[in-house]
Amino acid sequence: MNAIAIRAGFLTSIQDLGRTGFRQFGVSLGGALDSFALRVANLLAGGDESAAGLEISFGGLQLRFADERIVAWCGGGFDVRIGSTSLPAGHRALARAGDELKFNHAQSGCRCWLAISGGIDVPFVLGSRATDLRANFGGFNGRALRDGDAIRLGTRPGSAIPATTISSWSAPKPWSQTASSAPILRFVRGADWNSFNASMLQRFTSESFGVSSDSDRMGVRLAGPELQRTDDVDLISEAVAPGTIQVPPGGQPILLLGDCQTIGGYPKIAHVVTVDLGIAAQLRPGDTVRFREISLPEAHRLLFEREQELERFRIGLSLQNK
């Protein structure tokens, strides 16, 4: 095996960009809760953007490598070290055989994504290597990593950085360090926006919500202003997706994340835009979050511009590698 999880940490799982094309069968998208962060980390590590990496929640992971690999990570505020050398977010580094990579507990945010050159080599299940922790399939035997697990890595490309170990340059900070002390999530109106009166909608967009401890990869439960519909019409279950904000009985919203169900019957007040899902993935119990409305064309523009910037980043990396 190419790496050993000396310590698996609080919750570490193998994830890629998710399991697409199976939602009609009730299979969640899954994958990295911040797929963009994993894409950037994979590019830094010299691999394919869709390669499987590790999603590390709250830190505690310690890996030992059996051969030389390039590594990179993006996400929350973690102290990460190769041996005694600090590895900042968004930089790439050369880990040699016998080196240990350690993720200490998160100081801000709660998740990060580690890419390793060659990617993690586990079987494809329904077209993805991602771990579905609820259905117990994919990834490493359908479960989170445990202490002592041996991890098989794919064929590694040639080293793209000199023996200085850690690159002096990095990915843009907004991509590699996504945790925020005062997060604001931009949203577009949901299908049931008009089921709430003006007073409720004003509270939703002007007041803060706290993050409940009853949150996981499926969704973030929020506590704050009570949101109640003005009608009592029974709703038909409809499609939901990562970013959908539902309001169940009781009026406390739920922000759905990557492992969310494929349909839901609660009213959908809003939908967090794609470019802000990485911020949502960093919400931890005790945090507060606010919401700000933007238009659908603005959401499309933000996503298009980010993809344009990523393409320029790819070009820059290709020049670095020559």
Instruction: Determine whether 214 is exposed, middle or buried from the number of CB atoms within 10 Å of its CB (0-12, 13-18, 19+).
Output: exposed
**Is 19 within 8 Å of 126 (Cβ atoms)?**
yes
Residues 120 and 206 in one domain: no
> Does a structural domain hold residue 313?
no
> Does a structural domain hold residue 250?
yes
Beta carbons within 8 Å of 236's beta carbon, 6+ residues apart? 265
pLDDT, residue 321, reads 67
Task: Select from 119, 152, 176 the last residue of a domain.
Answer: 176
Residues 151 and 45 in one domain: yes
Residues 245 and 283 in one domain: yes
Structurally, the chain folds into a number of domains equal to 2
List for the chain the helix, strand, coil content (%; round to 5).
Answer: 20, 30, 50
> Does a structural domain hold residue 312?
no
pLDDT, residue 225, reads 92
Residues 137 and 170 in one domain: yes
Residues 172 and 197 in one domain: no
Residues 94 and 124 in one domain: yes
Tens digits of pLDDT across the chain (322 residues): 799 999 999 999 999 999 999 999 999 999 999 999 999 999 999 999 999 999 999 999 999 999 999 999 999 999 999 999 999 999 999 999 999 999 999 999 999 999 999 999 999 999 999 999 999 999 999 999 999 999 999 987 655 555 458 888 899 999 999 999 899 999 999 999 999 999 999 999 999 999 999 999 999 999 999 998 887 777 889 999 999 999 999 999 999 999 999 999 999 999 999 999 999 999 999 999 999 999 999 999 999 999 999 999 999 988 876 5
Each residue of 77-91: b (16+ CB within 10 Å) or e? Answer: bbebebeeeebbbbb
> Does a structural domain hold residue 322?
no
Task: Select from 120, 144, 176 the last residue of a domain.
Answer: 176
The sheet with strand 11-15 has its strands ordered as 11-15, 53-57, 108-116, 69-77, 92-95
Of the CA atoms within 13 Å of residue 31, those in its CB half-sphere come to 26
Beta carbons within 8 Å of 220's beta carbon, 6+ residues apart? 211, 212, 254, 255, 257, 280, 283
How many Å apart are CA 322 and CA 317, to the nearest integer? 9
pLDDT, residue 163, reads 47
For residue 282, give the H/E element and its range.
Answer: none
Of the CA atoms within 13 Å of residue 305, those in its CB half-sphere come to 7
> Does a structural domain hold residue 317?
no
Q: Which residues pair with 246 in a beta bridge?
A: 254, 268
> Does a structural domain hold residue 319?
no
Residues 111 and 215 in one domain: no
Task: Select from 126, 146, 176 the last residue of a domain.
Answer: 176
Structural domain span for residue 204: 184-301
The dihedrals phi and psi of 202, each to the nearest 5 degrees, come to: -65, -40
Location of structure tokens 């830094």: 44
**Is 269 within 8 Å of 246 (Cβ atoms)?**
yes
Residues 120 and 223 in one domain: no
> Does a structural domain hold residue 32?
yes
Residues 137 and 235 in one domain: no
pTM (2 decimals)?
0.95
Residues 103 and 198 in one domain: no
Residues 7 and 125 in one domain: yes
Instruction: Determine whether 283 is exposed, middle or buried from the number of CB atoms within 10 Å of its CB (0-12, 13-18, 19+).
Output: buried
- Altogether, the residues listed in the chain come to a count of 322
Q: What CATH number is associated with residue 269?
A: 2.40.100.10
Location of structure tokens 């990460």: 80
Residues 230 and 137 in one domain: no
> Does a structural domain hold residue 85?
yes
